[in-house]
Amino acid sequence: MPFILETIVATKNADGSFHVRPYGLHQDGEDWIFLPFRPSPAIENVERHPYLTVSAPSDVRVIAGLLTGRDVVETVPADVIDGVRLKDTTGHLELEAISFVDHELRPRFRCRVLHQAAHRPFVGYNRAQAAVLEAAILSTRLGMLPQEKVETEIEYLRIAVEKCAGAQEQEAWDWIVEKIEAHYRR
């Protein structure tokens, strides 16, 4: 099984703006594998401009907000590449895509690290943060998974949120649950 890092990835759009979204990157030795699902603007962006930044958000509302249409991201320029990173992050990587393997569902970019930086201490995990992250991932697969599986997993994850969530985690959870419920009401 690969080690998958759940992050916020920023790629440069053709108009000079940036596409900033949650993605999981697979570690492969010293490299990272970026596997966005089609369709994704990130695919054409990296083909055209082979650089991306990877930020570790310190607040799960960033992931939940991006997946639910809320503008919760503040970025600053990257240190080495022509890109941006999250302003509020524990750390970030700046990557260069060095190879590309096309695929009808998930093209594969092998990326090498050009720069990495730590911005603030990592103080530890919270079970509610992990639950929000898992729920966020579920919310991106609503068309791929049976409704019963999604609902069962959400009920299990809810336990950690009820026991351990602070205000930020609760707000992020509520956004994700609202997205999932809206999907099934359609």
State phi, psi for 106 to the nearest 5 degrees: -140, 90
The b-or-e profile of 56-72 (16+ CB within 10 A means b, else e) is: bbbbbbbbbbbbbeeeb
Domain that holds residue 176: 127-185
What confidence tens digit (pLDDT) does each residue in 13-23 have? 999 999 999 99
pLDDT at 71: 80
- Number of structural domains in the chain: 2
Pair 63, 145 in one domain: no
Confidence bin at 58 (pLDDT 50/70/90):
confident
78, 96, 118 — which closes off a domain? Answer: 118
Q: Which residues contact 117 (CB under 8 A, 6 or more apart)?
A: 79, 91, 92
Pair 107, 131 in one domain: no
Nearest-angstrom CA–CA distance, 42 and 99: 15
Confidence bin at 123 (pLDDT 50/70/90):
confident
Nearest-angstrom CA–CA distance, 7 and 31: 15
Q: What stretches of 15-107 adopt beta strand conformation (E)?
A: 18-28, 31-34, 51-57, 75-77, 84-86, 89-101
Pair 96, 135 in one domain: no
Please state the rounded mean pLDDT for residues 53-57. Answer: 95
Burial class (CB in 10 A: 0-12, 13-18, 19+), 2: exposed
68, 93, 118 — which closes off a domain? Answer: 118
Find how far residue 112's CA is from the centre of its chain. 18
118, 139, 165 — which closes off a domain? Answer: 118
Nearest-angstrom CA–CA distance, 24 and 62: 14
Residue of 70, 36, 29 whose CA lies nearest to 52: 36
Write the CATH number for 76: 2.30.110.10
pLDDT at 2: 79
